[in-house]
Amino acid sequence: MPSFLLYLKLLFPTWVVLSCSVTGDCRAKSAVPLFQNGDRVAFVGGGLMERARLNGFLETTLSKAAGAEVSGLRFRNLGWSGDTVYNDARSYFGKPQEGRDRLGRIIAEWKPNVVFLNYGAEVALSEGMPWTDEPEVKKQSAGKWEDSMKVFLEGYQKLVDAIQKKAGDNLREVVVVVPPPLENLGPPLPDHQNSNIRMGKVRDALAGFAKRNQARWVDLFAQMGGDKMNGKIIPNPLTHDGLHFTDFGYQELAKHVSHGLGFPPEDPDFSDSLTHNLRKKIIEKNRLFFHRWRPANETYLFLFRKHEQGNNAKEIPQFDPLIKKQETAIEKMRNQLLKKEAIN
């Protein structure tokens, strides 16, 4: 258990981080609120997390759920499509360690107070095949699926420990988000029944993992019907292809995350003009931060071709005041929205 989280547990003996069964209501019940004034929040994971920045439903929902008593929330989406707990997808031209270092740098810079982690779909889909380019991990995970699960949990623990080290005492909360179920949309797309069986096992393992790390968790697999899926075709799908969520799918997913964290059951009305405009500002902020964090021409700016255009690297920090300005507008609109809802 990370030392700082152990300190919090001793400081708040009534803190109940994990209070749910793996098939029942997985709402985190805690004497300590998830969000506090001025919190910096990070979303870390693969494609599910990264694509959330494009529509803003998750951040908008959590911003509203935090309530008027919490101010100054700021979010950073650090998702990376194809990412695993070993962060090898985050490397460009180097070894897997490059990907870990890349995540470590942004965590050290952002110093988040709350980190949402979403991993596990990759191992549910792996069927025991290697899913990292690291030779030693390949060797361990190339056998039975259970072996890959062991390597996955070992890697997840190393990731949590690394994030704790980089964030330092700023990190107060870790939220383990179980991946949602995969949808069967019928031929020619694959039937994900076996993958969902494995996903259920991943969820069961993550329950213990979250408890060992004194982390909150959200069981999206159960909340979004994973335990009841039996291979039947989904009549009203939330995904394009069984894997990647539509905008409406993200809207539903955001509600389940909020409910799973124990926030009030009232769902945000995204048709409301203030909520709609708040979400638009969040999307724009996410766009600016994405270009700040992951510039398309990074090779020319910082890497082996920087001798050609490296002088333009000075422009990247110029995104910071633009992001700050957008966050000021977000906070103002959020306050207006919460005041309006309080009156109504």
Q: What pTM, to 2 d.p., does this model score?
A: 0.86
Give alpha helix (H) positions in the chain: 3-11, 47-55, 57-65, 96-110, 121-124, 135-141, 145-167, 193-212, 220-223, 247-260, 273-293, 298-301, 306-309, 319-343
Angstrom CA distances, 112 to 49, 141, 142, stand at 16, 31, 35
CA 105 remoteness from chain centre: 17
Quote the pLDDT of residue 127. 66
Q: Compare 272 and 307 and report the one with higher pLDDT.
A: 272
Greatest C-alpha distance within the chain: 60
Dist CA 305 CA 77 (whole Å): 27
Residue 10 has pLDDT above 70, yes or no: no
Q: Compare 312 and 202 and report the one with higher pLDDT.
A: 202
Instruction: Give residue 18's pLDDT band: very low, low, confident or very high (50, 70, 90).
Output: very low
User: What length is written for the chain?
Assistant: 344
Contact call for residues 218 and 178 (beta carbons, < 8 A) = yes
CA 133 remoteness from chain centre: 23
User: What is the layout of strands, in order, in the sheet containing 40-45?
Assistant: 74-77, 40-45, 114-118, 173-178, 216-219
Quote the pLDDT of residue 201. 95
Out of 113-117, 148-152, 286-290, least confident range:
148-152
Contact call for residues 206 and 119 (beta carbons, < 8 A) = no
Residue 166 has pLDDT above 50, yes or no: yes
Quote the pLDDT of residue 229. 83
Quote the pLDDT of residue 317. 80
State what percent of residues in the chain have pLDDT above 70: 81
Q: What is the mean pLDDT of the chain?
A: 85
Burial class (CB in 10 A: 0-12, 13-18, 19+), 154: middle
Q: Give just the sign of the alpha carbon dihedral 273, 277, 282, 287.
A: positive
Dist CA 225 CA 221 (whole Å): 6
Residue 124 has pLDDT above 80, yes or no: yes
